Structure formats: structure tokens, C-alpha cells
């Protein structure tokens, strides 16, 4: 198996201040990149802090008490986030996802949701507002988030067994409190809720069927369980291919207990392959970013906690939009910059992963907690 090496890297400072084009066309909602992929989804990291120390994202040996998180003054304000989101909406973005770190650690995040809920697409439609959380603070915030205008919630949950879950979050947080958060979100009117399980071979694959059974029996169609292949995001999680359990193996394991029926994708660029339980007790999804790359339809951009735009989850450099915001750029100029950056985008890291690995050259990547999953 070999010994794990945790690489220490901090690429947060590696970003350019984009030039403002002199003659960019006005936004028409039809912006496409160099490979013809439209811009539809903006993921916004509202904090780089998290109260969990999951080994595949923020291992405790790196993100310890001496780790320097971003100071408050570096973070985009809610007004700055809303202004940038409005620029992206004019270019065709229809969905905003708030992420982290753990987004509910950002104080008064419901105020941000309330501001974003006022935005509209060029056709006058409200944007879909979603949030991904580890669930630890969800019970106390679910009602306020719903009242503010949040559309959907996704909860990360990697095990049902409390011992396994506490070992994975590495801070001793009990699984019962996450489940209470799911219950509170359903009571607040969210539904269906997505629950994401990152499957890491040798760590939690024995939790696949128990968690699926619990979701089926307890929630039925109100909760959609999705299984995510362990990804090589960032440089600190010691990722190895032999710890990836392919989605096909997960699906076969589930099908040995419950027959599954394939479902069509709801929209272009959807990351999960969807399957329904044949008995009608809901559905499951499989996100296979390692074994079945979906770069060809990727329509997502990511905005970091301090306002840097990343055009790929596996990027190593960003584009500093905060510098333009605080330097007095107009909305027209910001829109021109976004148009210029996205139209040049040709990222397809997951499709090229095997070639990169074969070269033996390690590629630096920004950490997931900094730009969101």
C-alpha cells in the first residue's frame, strides 16, 4: 500500500488580477467557454473554516491550531458576493451554491441568502439557491435559511455508525446531531434533501448499505442519498487511487439488496447518475468524478472565500475579482472580465487525470475547503 505523504502547499496567493477588456460584448445569458460549455452554476465559498477535520478534506495534521485561516477583512462581504453573483446571473448562471469550509460557520449567512434571493436571471426568473453543509449546525439554522429564501440543502454524511462517523470527522461529532439537522430541514420545508456520502475504500465502504437502508426506511423519497468517489482534490489528503471505490461497485452492492432502475438526467451538466429504487422508495445517485469524468458538460465556476474565480475544482490558480471590486470596477467591467475568463476556459482535468498520473509529475491543486466542493 505504501506510506502516505501529506503534502503541504498553500496556493491561495497564486492569482492574477485580470485585465479589463475594452470591447467585451454585453452579457446575453449565452456565455460559453472554449469547448462550448455554458456558464450555469456558481459555487460560492463563504468561509474557509470548518468545525470538522475530515481526512479527505481538512486533515487535522495540517489544519491544526497553528494553521492560518483567512482574516475577516480578506473575506468578501455579503454585498460584494451579491454584486458578483448578479454579474454571473447576467451571463446565464441560474444556480448559486453556498459552500465552505462549513458555510453555517459564517455568521448571519441567512442575511446573504436574503440578498441573493432578490437576484433574477435575464428572463426575470429567481435563481436556485442551494447550500452544502456538514449538518452540524443545521438544526439551529434551517428555519431561518428557509425563511430567507434558500431553495435546497445538501448534507454531507459519510457513515451511519457513530464510531465510524466520529473517526472520519476527527472531532468526535455524533452522527445523531447531523440526523437531527436533516429532520429540522425537512420540518422547515426543505425537500427532497440530498445527502452525500464520500466512499473511501478501507474506511467506510461497509457503511454503504446501512446508510442506504436508514435513508429508505426513515425518509423515503424526501432524502436522496448520493455516493461520491473519493477525489484527488487539493494536496493535503494523501489521495491514492487504490482508496477509490468505483461507483459501479457501489451500485452493484446496493443492487444486491434492492433492484435499481436508471433515471434520465434532469438537466445538462448534472454530475450524478440517478437511479430509482424499483419499489418506489426513493432514489440514489452516483458521482463518479474519478472513473467516469463529466468534464464534457461541466458548467460550474467557483468563487473563493476571498473573491478569486476558479474555472475548475482542480485548478491551481485563480483570478482575483476582489481586487477589481475594491479597486472601483463597474458592473459592466466586471461582466467583461467574467466573459473574457470563461470564454477562454478549456479545463478538463478529470478527463486528463490518467495521463497526468502516468507522467509522474504531481500537479498542484487548490484545497477544496477554500473553493468549495
The domain spans of the chain are: 15-371
Q: Specify the pLDDT at position 191.
A: 84
pLDDT of residue 368: 61
* Whole-structure pTM value: 0.90
- Pairing label, strands 308-310, 318-320: antiparallel
Residue with cell 467585451: 24
Q: Give the model's pLDDT for residue 366.
A: 65
Banded model confidence at residue 293, pLDDT cuts 50, 70, 90: confident
Query: Average pLDDT of 291-312?
Result: 90
Which helix (H) or strand (E) segment is 176 a member of? helix 175-187
- Running DSSP on this structure, what letter comes out for residue 244? B
Round to whole Å and give the CA distance between 167 and 188. 30
CB atoms within 10 A of CB 11: 17
Ranges of beta strands (E only) in 93-236 are 95-99, 128-133, 152-156, 193-199, 223-229
Alpha carbon separation from 307 to 116, 133, 175, 193, 320 (Å, rounded): 16, 20, 33, 28, 6
- If one compares 313 and 244, the residue with the highest pLDDT of the two is 244
pLDDT for 6: 39
Average pLDDT over residues 304-324: 91
Is 5 a residue whose pLDDT tops 60?
Answer: no
Instruction: Give DSSP secondary structure letters for 36-61.
Output: S-B--EEEEE--S--S---TTTS-TT
Q: How far is 273 from 226, CA to CA, in rounded Å? A: 9
Mean pLDDT of 319-347: 96
What is residue 91's predicted lDDT score, i.e. its pLDDT? 97
Average per-residue pLDDT for the chain: 89
CA–CA separation, 117 and 145 (whole Å): 11
87-96, 137-146, 316-325: the lowest-pLDDT one: 316-325
How large is the average pLDDT for residues 264-279? 89
Residue, of 233 and 221, whose pLDDT is higher: 221
pLDDT at residue 108, as a whole number: 97
- Is pLDDT above 90 for 256? yes
357 pLDDT more than 50: no
User: Domain 15-371 is in which class?
Assistant: alpha beta
Half-sphere exposure of 125 (CA within 13 A, CB side): 9
pLDDT at site 365: 53
Q: What's the rounded Cα separation, in Å, for the pair 333 and 373?
A: 28
* Cell numbers placing 52: 470538522
Q: In this structure, what C-alpha cell is assigned to residue 91?
A: 451571463
Lowest mean pLDDT among 20-29, 39-48, 170-179, 213-222: 20-29
The pLDDT tens digits for 237-252 are 556 888 899 999 999 9
Quote the pLDDT of residue 234.
54
pLDDT mean over 318-331: 96
372: pLDDT strictly greater than 80: no
User: CA 169, CA 31: separation in Å to the nearest integer?
Assistant: 39
pLDDT of residue 2: 41
CB count, 10 Å around CB of 293?
A: 16
- Cell 481526512 maps to which residue? 55
pLDDT tens by residue, 43-56: 999 999 999 998 88
Amino acid at each position: 500500500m505504501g506510506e502516505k505523504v501529506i503534502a503541504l502547499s498553500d496556493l491561495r496567493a497564486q492569482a492574477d488580477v485580470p485585465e479589463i477588456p475594452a470591447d467585451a460584448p454585453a452579457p446575453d445569458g449565452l456565455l460559453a467557454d472554449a469547448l462550448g460549455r455554458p456558464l450555469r452554476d456558481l459555487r460560492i465559498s463563504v468561509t474557509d473554516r470548518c468545525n470538522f477535520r475530515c481526512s479527505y478534506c481538512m486533515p487535522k495534521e495540517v489544519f491544526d491550531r497553528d494553521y492560518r485561516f483567512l482574516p475577516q477583512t480578506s473575506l468578501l462581504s455579503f454585498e460584494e458576493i451579491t454584486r458578483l453573483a448578479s454579474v454571473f446571473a447576467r451571463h446565464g448562471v441560474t444556480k448559486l451554491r453556498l459552500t465552505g469550509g462549513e458555510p453555517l460557520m459564517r455568521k448571519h449567512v441567512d442575511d446573504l441568502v436574503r440578498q441573493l434571493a432578490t437576484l433574477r436571471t435575464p428572463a426575470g426568473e429567481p435563481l436556485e439557491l442551494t447550500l452544502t453543509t456538514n449538518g452540524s449546525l443545521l438544526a439551529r439554522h434551517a428555519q431561518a435559511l428557509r425563511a430567507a429564501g434558500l431553495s435546497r440543502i445538501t448534507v454531507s454524511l459519510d457513515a451511519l455508525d457513530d464510531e465510524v462517523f466520529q473517526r472520519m470527522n476527527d472531532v468526535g461529532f455524533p452522527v445523531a446531531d447531523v440526523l437531527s439537522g436533516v429532520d429540522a430541514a425537512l420540518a422547515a420545508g426543505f425537500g427532497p434533501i440530498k445527502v452525500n456520502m464520500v466512499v473511501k475504500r478501507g474506511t467506510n465502504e461497509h457503511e454503504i448499505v446501512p446508510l442506504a437502508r436508514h435513508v429508505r426506511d426513515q425518509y423515503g423519497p424526501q432524502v436522496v442519498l448520493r455516493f461520491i468517489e473519493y477525489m484527488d482534490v487539493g494536496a493535503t489528503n494523501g489521495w491514492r487511487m487504490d482508496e477509490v471505490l468505483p461507483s459501479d461497485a457501489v451500485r452493484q452492492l446496493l443492487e444486491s439488496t434492492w433492484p435499481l432502475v436508471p433515471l434520465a438526467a434532469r438537466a445538462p451538466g448534472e454530475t450524478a447518475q440517478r437511479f430509482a429504487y424499483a419499489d418506489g422508495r426513493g432514489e440514489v445517485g452516483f458521482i463518479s468524478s474519478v472513473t467516469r469524468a463529466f468534464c464534457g458538460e461541466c458548467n460550474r465556476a467557483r468563487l473563493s472565500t476571498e473573491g478569486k474565480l476558479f474555472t475548475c475544482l482542480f485548478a491551481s490558480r485563480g483570478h482575483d475579482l476582489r481586487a477589481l471590486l475594491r479597486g472601483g470596477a463597474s458592473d459592466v467591467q466586471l461582466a467583461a472580465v467574467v466573459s473574457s475568463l470563461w470564454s477562454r476556459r478549456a479545463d478538463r482535468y478529470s478527463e486528463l487525470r490518467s495521463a497526468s498520473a502516468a507522467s509522474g509529475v504531481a500537479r498542484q491543486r487548490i484545497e477544496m475547503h477554500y473553493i468549495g466542493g
